[in-house]
Amino acid sequence: MPQERMEGWKDMAAHLGRSVRTVQRWEREAGLPVRRLVVGGKAQVFAYRQELDGWRLSREAEPEQQRGGLFYRLRIAWHNILMRK
């Protein structure tokens, strides 16, 4: 079964019920699984609905104190470094 692809920040924000800026912050700070495709020198963002839903479920299941812990912050920083390449 093919994954449903969401094109752009607006689609992702609408699916998650949040603003575009919040979704961009979640990608930057909380590891929201957003992908980039560079076409003609400009990056287009997209995400798969199943990955967004999985991320949201994992965040709901994760205790609040773990989100602010050192290991969590390092994991997010590492994710962000890898996504920039």
Residue 3 token pair: 């994954």
CATH number for position 72: 1.10.10
Q: Tens of pLDDT along 48-59? A: 999 999 999 888
H-only helix segments in the chain: 8-16, 20-30, 49-61, 64-67, 70-83
Overall number of domains in the chain: 1
Radius of gyration of the chain (CA): 13
| Domain carrying residue 47 | 5-83
Task: Provide the pLDDT confidence category of residue 32 given band limits of 50, 70 and 90.
Answer: very high
Total-model pTM: 0.68
Number of residues assigned to the chain: 85
Is residue 27 classed exposed, middle or buried when 0-12, 13-18 and 19+ CB atoms within 10 A define those classes?
buried
Please give the mean pLDDT across all residues of the chain. 84
**Whether 12 contacts 34, CB under 8 Å:** yes
Confidence of residue 77 (pLDDT cuts 50, 70, 90): confident
